[in-house]
Structure 1
Amino acid sequence: MEGVLQLQSQLADYTTSLYNEKEFLDEQFTQLQQLQDESNPEFVVEVVSLFFEDSERLLNELTKALDQQSVDFKKVDAHVHQFKGSSSSIGAQRVQNACISFRNNCDQQNIEGCLESLQQVKHEYSLVKNKLETLFKLEQRLLKAGG
Structure 2
Amino acid sequence: MVNRFHSPSNGNSLFWYSFDIGLVHIVYYSTEHDFRRLSSQYKWLEQDLRSIDRIRIPWILVTAHRPMYSSLIGIHLIQIMLQLNIEPLLYKYHVDLNLHGHTHSYGRTCPMYQHKCIDDGITQVLIGMVGMI
TM-score range for the pair, normalised by the shorter chain length: under 0.3
With a CA cutoff of 8 Å and minimum separation of 6, indicate the structure with the bigger relative contact order: 1
Question: Which protein has the bigger helix share?
Answer: 1
> Which TM-score applies when normalising by structure 2?
0.28
Larger Rg: 1
Question: Which protein has the bigger strand share?
Answer: 2
> Which TM-score applies when normalising by structure 1?
0.26
